[in-house]
Structure 1
Amino acid sequence: MRCLRFICIEDDTRFAEILKTKDFKIPIILISNYDDYIFQTVHLQIFDFIIKSRLNEEIIETLDHLQDYLEYKSQSIFIEYNGSAYHISINDILYIETLSHHTIIHCK
């Protein structure tokens, strides 16, 4: 199971676009020498973009943010109800009960 993907782009953003169209649910960190690609990749919801010349300075901070993100994400659940999706933090759940064929989640 993959939980992270680094992509080094040199001439365009096709690799990231392909990844996003495949509906991967993983954070993507782009690395490039060309800072003008930052604006071209914003719509892709990239986790981070690192300029290659600053990789040594920025990679630790990016990985720290990634760790925080993954810890936060793992402490929540997604629920779909009546066609809408809800993100609920585990810490907000007081208790869960079932009644007949229904599940009720009581939150703070």
Structure 2
Amino acid sequence: MKARAHIALPIVASIFSLIGLAFVVGTLSRVRDLDQLHRLLSYDYMSFLDSQADGAIGSIASDFFTGIALILVGSIFFTKIEKTSQPARVVAAILFVLVALSLAYACSNLRVGIKPY
């Protein structure tokens, strides 16, 4: 890699990861009980009505998966750096599994026609 790429790549990867981490931590800090965490991971907060329901964690719930995606992009950039390649691959694999499992759960438990909470 060129000298500029050696400097720019970690900076870009860090920016993506930190913004994503801020979204994820911001969402998880507003979760008050396990029911809200379950509803967040099963995409129950993705509709507008659900986010306005009493006790909901609001529009920041949709930022949770945006944050996961940003952390994934950052970890993929980190795989190009020799020193951080292995931990970045582990983080990316864990996040891909989290998204895959939550999507599979959401698809197997559809809420079509059910009124929001």
**TM-score where L is the length of structure 2:** 0.33
Q: Which has the higher helix share?
A: 2
Higher gyration radius (CA): 1
Indicate the structure whose relative CO is greater, using CA pairs within 8 Å and at least 6 residues apart: 2
Normalised to the residue count of structure 1, the TM-score between the two structures is: 0.35
